[in-house]
Structures are given as C-alpha cells and as structure tokens.
Structure 1
C-alpha cells in the first residue's frame, strides 16, 4: 500500500522510537514539489556534563570546569609604556672634586693664620753664639741666628770708635782683613739684626745688647783663648 520500501520504513520507525527528529526529512518519505536538503541534526547526549570540549565554547579542558571559567580570549589591556628614570644629578657640594678643593682651601687658610700668629708673637730675631777667629791677616766673625740681614760693627778700632763693616757679611759670618786698618787686637765686634737697629746706638753693656738682639766679642779675649 505504501510506496516506501520496507527497509526505509523500518529505519524511519527506529528514528521515531529514538526521539530523533529531522527537520528536513519529508513526512512519509514522499517527495513533494522541490527537493529539500536533508540535514541530519545531532543532539548532545543526556549525560554530557557542562564544560566538556566539543559541547561548549571557550573551554580549555576536557574535564568539567567549576566556578568562574576563564575564556581563551585576550583582553584589550596592554602593558603600560616604560618611562626612562629621571637622571638624578649629584649636588655640587657632594662632588669629590669640590670636597677636595674645600679641604685644601681650609688647610691653606689654617696654615696662613698660624704663620701670621707665629710671626706676630714670635720674638725678635737675634744673633747669638758670636765667635772670633783671629789670624795674622784677618779676623773671622761667625754667629748663629735666623736668615735676616745683620749689622757688624767694629768698636774702638783703628779707624774710629764705631766702624760698620756690614758689607763684608756673607750669611752668618764676615772676614775682616787686618791690612785694611779696620780692626786690631784692642777692638771689639758687635753683631745685631739690621732691622730696627740701623740708627740705634751701639753699646757693649748687657742691657743694650739684649734690647737690640745683639752679641759682642773682643779680639783680645778671642786671642787669649
């Protein structure tokens, strides 16, 4: 009675019993006007859990996923651009060269102040340890003292009561020739710093000598030694 072959009828009955419904399969297997494509739809099994790959989108695992599921999509956020760290310039007062220059300047000022203090409060220069070396032709005068100009004066010599022979001074000694008539055995020699004593009176007493920073010695005493 029916044009559907028995085998096709049995397959259709089996699909109805299984609950599979096809949207494009014609009812009764009859072809009507235009051919309709026959698309087989597939229904997920009843026992398929949520979150299995193949049954839901954006699932990275085959196992069921519990809680919040992170998708495989990338977000629109990007890393912030890196900015160059600002150059921290060292202050001038912390620079090693500046510190060294300050240190040397302070040391120089300290040395200058010490020099002024010592120079202002130090004692006046003086001649000491005067000694005469008497020979037949000359008398050598030698003394000790700072490196300053000195006056050498012959007292009671053949040329007068006071004869300045400072032009014969070399360092801290002087050679006075006897042939020049400047000195004899009765003469004495006074040596004193030239500063502040150019116009000072010459004396052989201890008070005058100490006040002028001078020293004296007589030829007769030196010859007797």
Structure 2
C-alpha cells in the first residue's frame, strides 16, 4: 500500500483518557451480552464473542507491555508465551477463566485497558517500541488499543441490538493518528469501520485488506 500523505491540518492527540473512555464504554457493552450468546461467532470473524473479547484484552495487554521495558526490543514483541485454546482460535497470552462466568470477562478487559492507559501516561513520549507496522510511540500504542477496542466491540455487539456507536471524537482522533489517508467526507465511525474492512462508504467498496500507520507523526 502507498505511504500515507502528510497533512498540515492540526490534529488532537490520542491520550490515555481516550483509552480509558473507550474501554469503559466497551465494558458496558460486554456486560450486556446475553450469557447464551458468548459462544456464537462475532460478526464476520472466525472467533466466538468470548474469544474476541479475550483477543481484545490480549491486544491491550500486549501494547502496554511493549512500553514497559527501559530499552524496548526494536525487532520483536516482548516474548510472552502465546497459546490457542482451539484450532482457529486467537493466539493469546491472556485468557479469561471460564469458571468465573461471564461476569469475569469484562474484568479481564477492564484491567488490560487500565494497564495500557497507565503505561501511556507514564512512558516518556520519546520512547519507541516495536510493532509489526513500524516502531511507535506511547500515543501510537494508545491509538492502536482504541482501534482494537472500538472495532472488536462492534464485532461482539453485532446481531444483538446493543447499539454500539462510539463517540465521534474518539473515532476522529484515532483516524487522524493511524489512518491519515482515510476519507473525510463521511461520519468518523462509519469511516473507521470502512478503514478496518468492516463497512462500505458511498462510492467506496468494502476493503479486503487494510493496515494502520503507527509511526509517530506531528
């Protein structure tokens, strides 16, 4: 894919408070999922709703720990052991104990989000840590965690009538940070779904491949 164009338009940075808000809203939705729906597939994914929330929790944890070393590795992630609980399931370091019931899953999600927001608050802005899409700074990892949160809760909520529509400001800041080439003539939530292969925009078909750009930017 081509490199993103730079824009002179001022942008508002993504903050730890944004992570907190996104995760808080996500936890509210997770707590409303019917107990009978957890083993159904999440949206267009090949994971169950339960596995998708575990994967999201694992993403937030993984972004937090990347920022936890004094000298982050430049060529790989921090080597926590990753494991699939079934063929085709997500490969995670974080799994929720099913014995704790559905009420335990949002606790796992909330604590993983708290770890990321804490690391974003306390890590110097000049720190760079590894990501497959390019070394990023604390703001970039905050934005990545928010993308994972916003779109995976969309996956989880699909078909349940839970009305997941995150605040426009959160979506706008994430798009400006990670998707600088995204169109600007549609609503920010619809645009974020399009940018992550989950929706269409007028005159623009659904994407079959996509990525974000986590490199630090002005």
Higher RCO (C-alpha under 8 Å, 6+ residues apart):
2
Same-fold status (TM-score > 0.5): no
**What TM-score, normalized by structure 1, do the two folds share?**
0.19
User: Which structure shows the bigger proportion of residues in strand conformation?
Assistant: 1
